Amino acid sequence: MVLIVAGHSAARQLAQLGIRAGTTLKVHRSAPMGGPVLVESGSSMVAIGRGMARKVSVQIVG
């Protein structure tokens, strides 16, 4: 489960990528050295930068 902790602009950018409060995300890859995070949201795979990823709080489900 996802909770967005960001300003209006960042929340809008995440929503355009399919990352919204209440959605389910699956992290596929977290690049080393501060690189992007590859996540699956619905049927889409997106890479988001670490700064943007820090604005997404998740609840881990079994």
Look at residue 58 in the predicted model and tell me its pLDDT. Answer: 86
**Residues with Cβ within 8 Å of residue 24, at least 6 apart in sequence:** 1, 2, 41, 61
Between 12 and 61, the higher pLDDT residue: 12
Q: Is the pLDDT of residue 10 over 80?
A: yes
Give the chain's domains with CATH numbers.
Answer: 2-58 (2.30.30.90)
pLDDT digits (tens, 9 = 90+) for 37-62: 999 988 999 999 999 999 999 888 77
